[in-house]
Amino acid sequence: MSSLNLDDFTDLIERPDGAVRRDAEARRERRTVPPGALGRLDDLGEWLSAAQSAVPARPIERPRAVLFAGDHGVAALGVSRRPAGGAARLVRAVLKGASPVAILARRQHVPVRVVDMALDCDPRELPEDVVRHRVRRGSGRVDVEDALTLQEAEAAFRAGMAVADEEADAGTDLVVLGDVSVGGTTPAAVLTAALCGTDASVVTGRGGLAIDDLAWMRKCAAVRDALRRARPVLGDQLQLLAAVGGADLAAMTGFLLQCAVRKTPVILDGVVSAACALVAQRIAFRAPDWWLAGHTSGEPAQAKALDRMALQPLLDHGVTVGEGVGALLALPLVQAAAALAAELPGQDEGQEKEGKGEEKREEEDKEKGEQEGE
């Protein structure tokens, strides 16, 4: 029996400030740029204002990429083009600055934090600040066994909450959320199918490296078998994460909910973060108001989850690599929306500036004339 009361999140999570959003909308109507001319950037600016309780929106000055890492036993079935237990190698590439997310983050001056929840490697191979929240070595094969015990699921969930609190206390003003996993898209598909009431074939995709037809059929069968195990525990979200999720997915779910409690906006990456967000929505229905969908990953489970939460992706560039890359690419768009919301003048301000400009030009002309007369 878990000591964690998930119902508390319903009371703890408030929606972004609606009154502030209305003030931001009114301010937009007075701007020199016609309403609608900036498309979704206007909506993003108003969303940020509501999340920050500030008009105009403040600049995003301390973003951070947070990546939860883990290996999944189901990868042993050949449902991924990456070798089972290979997530540690991906983590090392991130830490060395040699992965796509590390390179992009470096260019954007965004710190990257990796949180090992269930990597299948000796923890001594990685830095202490990466492994200190680890729950276990690898998660179970969800088609035939539980990914975690209930106690492990609670520990992972609480670890995600603790990371969210650490980021909020450190002043992080927006999180780019991703995962570093091998086999993670399979439990993500299971969670999405279970919560949306769909069949395995509807949500099973080909993963970040595009598996072939035979691997897809194996993956589809694994999702189907795991779904049979998921349906009896649909009423208990923590038990669901234990049965067919994984330590990294449980941690991401706790992280998302605690970010909403702490009023920290989050950009979701791919199918794994979308599936965790869907579980979090089932726990606290207001939580998705604090999240943005960074991009379309091409995974059918992601599309299904985002549609259920009414989240529209910001970008569609065909990026499937995962690891927070798509969400990180969306960050400049959010930062641009904040800058435009804060710095574009209103019509009165524009006229005032224009008048001051005329006065300045008249003074300059007068001074020039006096100089020529001399």
CATH (domain of 29) = 1.10.1610.10
189 and 321 both lie in a single domain:
yes
Q: Are residues 303 and 220 in the same domain?
A: yes
Asked if the structure places residue 6 within a domain, the reply is: no
Tell me which residues are annotated as active site: 323
Query: Is 369 a residue whose pLDDT tops 70?
Result: no
Mean pLDDT of 13-18: 96
Are 24 and 86 part of one and the same domain?
Answer: no
Residues 6+ apart with CB under 8 A from 72: 138, 139, 141, 142, 147, 181, 182, 183, 184, 186, 187, 246
Look at residue 356 and tell me if it is in a domain: yes
354 half-sphere exposure, CB direction, 13 A CA radius: 8
Q: Are residues 207 and 166 in the same domain?
A: yes
Cα gap 31→224, rounded to integer Å: 53
- As a whole number of angstroms, the distance between CA 129 and CA 115 comes to 8
Work out whether strand 63-71 and strand 174-182 pair parallel, antiparallel, or are unpaired: parallel
Q: Would you state the structure tokens that stand for residue 68, as one six-digit string?
A: 């939860």
Q: Are both 49 and 88 inside the same structural domain?
A: no
User: Quick one: three-class SS letters along 173-188?
Assistant: CEEEEEEEEECCHHHH
Residues 286, 13 contacting (CB under 8 angstroms): yes
Regarding whether 220 and 102 lie in a shared domain, the answer is yes
Q: Are residues 249 and 355 in the same domain?
A: no
Domain membership of residue 192 (yes or no) is yes
pLDDT digits (tens, 9 = 90+) for 197-231: 999 999 999 887 788 999 999 999 999 999 999 99
What average pLDDT does range 299-312 have in this prediction?
A: 96
Task: Give me the domain span that covers residue 355.
Answer: 16-57+340-368
- Judgement on whether residues 131 and 188 belong to the same structural domain of the protein: yes
Same domain, 285 and 344: no
Quote the pTM value.
0.91
Identify each DSSP E strand in the chain by its residue range.
63-71, 112-118, 174-182, 266-268, 291-293
Give the number of domains in the chain: 2
